[in-house]
Amino acid sequence: MTREGLNLNLDSGRKLQIPASVSVVASGSALDLLSESVEREGADHLSIHELDIDADIPAEIVLGAEILVVEIDPTIPQSMDRIRFIRQLRPSLPIVVGLRDAKVANVRVLLRQGVEDIASVPLQLDEMLDSAANAYGSGAVENEPEVELAPLIAVVKSRGGEGATTLVTHLASEMGEWAQTDRGVCVIDLDIQAGSVTSYLGVTPRRSLEDLLEAGHRLDRSVLNSIVTERKDGISIIAAPFEIHPLEAIDTDQLARVIELARREYDFVLIDLPANWTNWNLSTLLDASQIVMVVELEISSLRQAKRWLELFNTVSVNASKVSIVVNRVEKKLFGSISLRDVKDALKRDVLAGLPNEGTKITTAQDQGLLFSEIQGKSKFSAEVSKLAEILYNRISKEHA
């Protein structure tokens, strides 16, 4: 059934149009001002349901709503359960929550649960309908057409300081050469406690991954585009959170939605993962097209890499997708460990050995530049270029 929606001339002189009906569920005290305005203005497509703040919402109200405004008290578990109930019935229904005390912590919790917008209580017609309009515009679209997801390349490290971020930033530049469209490459910095992708690439983000994780059900292309920082060479970056958070604080499901959305928008998505392992980053690896583990030619590095590879096996990470890149390789006449030794010890292909360039790469990164931008041709850049080609061919073979 097609609805005309709401068309109101408000007391303030503003005209407001919402191409959908609005259903309101709130307590009597929250509805006093709203009811007075509705009686005065008239609103054929605004339905009001008075319910105690901890009362269950009848399913027929949720099923019949196009936009739902619902009063919540975060201190009452039964009241908070309303959001979960609504999302179970209508995963894509635009929701506005009415709050008496819109503390930042409360708002964040609600946004993570899929709420589109917040309105103050007692509900006032102008503000509530503005929020309803925002919710309708940013709500998830049901029956979104299927889009083939871009390849996801995960760069991990056997331990901190192996150079994984150096690799992921340079690899992103090289993968751009293999892009089949103009959508480009996106790097997501998932090293949430020590991320430095933006610093290495010389960009200053205004927003970060944290904003996407808190977007809840509002997460869509426009939200993603507002968070991403684009470098002059076209590399897009989703920055690590600005503040340090516990690793376990990441919402696994919401992170999966962020990564999936990025894969819909770009030709390639690369992720830089922390050295510590949690359920959410192991879960992320299960969806990766290719996984590159960075190690060094040191016994301690290889031992730790072997431990991680054994962990990957226990959580069913596809071993055929995991390869090794050895960083800071030095040509020594009597080297104690060779690239072949690494392959034999870890039982994984060694795709590249990146030469040790001393302090040159660090100097470039201090300026927010890639090594190729100050050095031009080099053995390091040639190895990264070769690695990009190998990964592209592997991914293409999988999709053939």
Q: Which tokens sit at 169?
A: 């930033």
C-alpha dist (Å) from residue 232 to 49, 52, 78, 153, 201: 52, 54, 50, 22, 10
CB 169 within 8 A of CB 220: no
Rounded to the nearest 5 degrees, what angle is found at the Cα of 377, between the Cα atoms of 376 and 381? Answer: 105
Residues 6+ apart with CB under 8 A from 168: 155, 187, 197, 270, 271, 272
Rounded distance between C-alpha atoms, residue 282 and residue 301, angstroms: 20
C-alpha dist (Å) from residue 59 to 65, 87, 139: 10, 11, 20
Q: In this predicted structure, what is the pLDDT of residue 148?
A: 83
DSSP H helices, the chain, are: 28-41, 59-64, 77-89, 104-112, 125-138, 164-175, 197-200, 209-213, 221-227, 252-265, 279-286, 299-314, 339-346, 360-366, 371-375, 379-399
Q: In this predicted structure, what is the pLDDT of residue 2?
A: 33
CB 339 within 8 A of CB 326: yes
| Buried b or exposed e, range 241-253, using 16+ CB within 10 angstroms | beeeeeeeebeee
Residues 6+ apart with CB under 8 A from 377: none
Q: In this predicted structure, what is the pLDDT of residue 42?
A: 56
Q: In this predicted structure, what is the pLDDT of residue 335?
A: 62
Burial of 345 (C-beta count, 10 Å sphere; 0-12/13-18/19+): middle
CB 27 within 8 A of CB 50: yes
Q: Which residue has the tokens 């959908």?
A: 20
Q: Which tokens sit at 35?
A: 């009811």
Q: In this predicted structure, what is the pLDDT of residue 119?
A: 87
Q: Which tokens sit at 165?
A: 């971020």
C-alpha 326, offset from chain centre: 29
C-alpha dist (Å) from residue 281 to 239, 286, 288, 322, 359: 16, 9, 11, 15, 31
Rounded distance between C-alpha atoms, residue 291 and residue 277, angstroms: 15
Burial of 275 (C-beta count, 10 Å sphere; 0-12/13-18/19+): middle
pLDDT tens, N- to C-terminus, the chain (400 residues): 233 455 555 554 555 566 678 899 999 999 988 887 777 655 567 888 999 999 999 999 998 888 899 999 988 989 988 988 998 888 888 889 999 887 766 777 777 777 888 888 998 887 888 778 777 765 544 444 556 899 999 999 999 999 999 999 999 999 999 988 889 999 999 999 999 999 999 999 999 999 999 888 778 888 898 899 999 999 999 999 999 988 888 988 899 999 999 999 999 999 999 999 888 999 999 999 999 999 999 999 999 999 999 999 998 899 999 999 999 998 765 667 899 999 999 999 999 999 999 899 999 999 999 999 998 889 999 999 999 999 999 999 887 6
